[in-house]
Structure 1
């Protein structure tokens, strides 16, 4: 079956930036042709917000629960994840496993201000490994973050035996991304591609069979500093089409088929 719709494979629609107009944002996304959007968590505190939001819009939003490599302390300052952060979340993740589209957002983030030494890197790897094992146990794909850590993230995923993987907004070199392609991993492209030479180079090398669409809303807008929304997925589609020498309709069709391969629970959303 061929689908004439979009899938936004990575969003944060439970973010407070959408608290006043989420109904309008979802309706605008639907009007753009988005059949489904995956909503990811980052912290244990995000879990009830994401689940509640997906229950409000059950015919379009799907939850992805996971613990991000960057957390915040009680003052709201960013810090490296710990295994205790995952322990806070894992029972909730288990409790709601039948609702989940994927485990995410998980991964590695080796920005020096967050991860200054080998001890912090080891902590992130341990949390990632535990979530890879959790995903394998439940037969779920992974929605993966890899900022400033493209090579070590792909190496870790291979080492941990991860098979069904989406690397979102990948900021590494195309040659590193191709190591992920060899493993069957997918890469999702946000609207910020229009202002990213790195992402254009990435798109040129990635096979279209390994490309998905995302917005990472409210981040990674086509206009720096503006709030991003799922409706901007059309911008990613059009730009990929231009770079790859395809029509936007072809990119729309192929990326949606790719999304269904990686996220089988989408089948009930794509009519």
Structure 2
């Protein structure tokens, strides 16, 4: 089968989020009808791990798990806080246990929003947790699904320093010139449907199509702010790229799916 011509690949979702718990079957059905042939489901917190694994076991012909610890966690009151080493320690054994099953380590990265990292020590904590997960990815020859909010340049610098090899920078909010530093390293960038209301048109214009893939980051980053996003919205990302790049949407779908399979080769287990 020529995998890259069969449909869309959503390279970054959170389908195990509680916003989907009551109608996940409809969401998956809508994705299929919209031409989605595979979607990567990422974790954020340790509590996400069993949810993501169970969901991907429920839909093994379309969903693929990614396990990792996000740079932003929640405290006992549900308030956002910076990740710590103990958060990672809680899940390392699980990542190791399922290393042969998962498609990537993720969602990992850096988040330097001032309210999350008001102190340099907190940025250092995030970097330490990221390095440990880059080491895990390299140990198991797995790609990385990376978050870099308000930290585009520091994230790319850290990934290079830590020896990250196969990288997806999702929903990149940094400068196009910074993104091009990632392109030099062979990194990929995924474009969500929120691109239609963002200020990142220059990013889409400058990124080579050979380094682009599609994502929804659902339930967030939809075309309408505040509304739940779904994988079925992936066509919006495709059409936007096609317009900016002056390419037929079918060609963008073909190229981005081919790129996704190159970056996440274990997707071939789904695309039989």
Q: Same fold (TM over 0.5)?
A: yes
State the 1:270 CA deviation.
Answer: 2.6
State the 1:268 CA deviation.
Answer: 2.5
Q: Could you tell me which residue of structure 1 aligns to residue 246 of structure 2? A: 245
Q: For residues 6 and 209 of structure 2, what CA distance do their matches in structure 1 show?
A: 17
Of 87, 107, 132, the residue aligned with 2:134 is 132
Q: For residues 207 and 270 of structure 2, what CA distance do their matches in structure 1 show?
A: 27
State the 1:100 CA deviation.
Answer: 0.2
Q: Decide whether the 8 Å contact of 2:72 with 2:82 is kept in 1.
A: yes
Q: Which ranges in structure 2 are unaligned for 5 or more consecutive residues?
A: none
Q: For residues 200 and 249 of structure 1, what CA distance do their matches in structure 2 show?
A: 20
Q: Decide whether the 8 Å contact of 2:60 with 2:270 is kept in 1.
A: no
Instruction: Name which of structure 1's ranges 152-161 and 89-98 shifts more when overlaid on structure 2.
Output: 89-98
Q: Could you tell me which residue of structure 1 aligns to residue 164 of structure 2? A: 162
Tell me whether 1:171 sits opposite 2:173 in the alignment: yes
TM-score, normalization by structure 1:
0.99
Q: Could you tell me which residue of structure 2 aligns to residue 212 of structure 1? A: 213
State the 1:97 CA deviation.
Answer: 1.3
List, as ranges, runs of 4+ consecutive aligned residues in structure 1 with deviation greater than 6 Å.
Answer: none
State the 1:267 CA deviation.
Answer: 1.3
Instruction: For residue 99 of structure 1, give the secondary structure of its aligned residue in structure 2.
Output: coil
Q: Could you tell me which residue of structure 2 aligns to residue 88 of structure 1? A: 90
Give runs of aligned pairs for residues 56-75 of structure 1, distance below 5 A.
56-75=58-77
Q: For residues 265 and 40 of structure 1, what CA distance do their matches in structure 2 show?
A: 15
State the 1:107 CA deviation.
Answer: 0.1
Q: Could you tell me which residue of structure 2 aligns to residue 228 of structure 1? A: 229
TM-score, normalization by structure 2:
0.98
Q: Could you tell me which residue of structure 1 aligns to residue 148 of structure 2? A: 146
Instruction: For residue 254 of structure 1, give the secondary structure of its aligned residue in structure 2.
Output: helix
Q: Which ranges in structure 1 are unaligned for 5 or more consecutive residues?
A: none
Q: For residues 112 and 90 of structure 2, what CA distance do their matches in structure 1 show?
A: 23
Tell me whether 1:187 sits opposite 2:185 in the alignment: no
Equivalenced residues, count: 270
Please give the root-mean-square deviation of Cα atoms over the aligned residues, in Å: 0.7
Q: Could you tell me which residue of structure 2 aligns to residue 267 of structure 1? A: 268
Instruction: For residue 188 of structure 1, give the secondary structure of its aligned residue in structure 2.
Output: strand
State the 1:168 CA deviation.
Answer: 0.1
State the 1:117 CA deviation.
Answer: 1.2
Q: Decide whether the 8 Å contact of 1:3 with 1:270 is kept in 2.
A: no
Q: For residues 179 and 270 of structure 1, what CA distance do their matches in structure 2 show?
A: 32
Instruction: For residue 257 of structure 2, give the secondary structure of its aligned residue in structure 1.
Output: helix
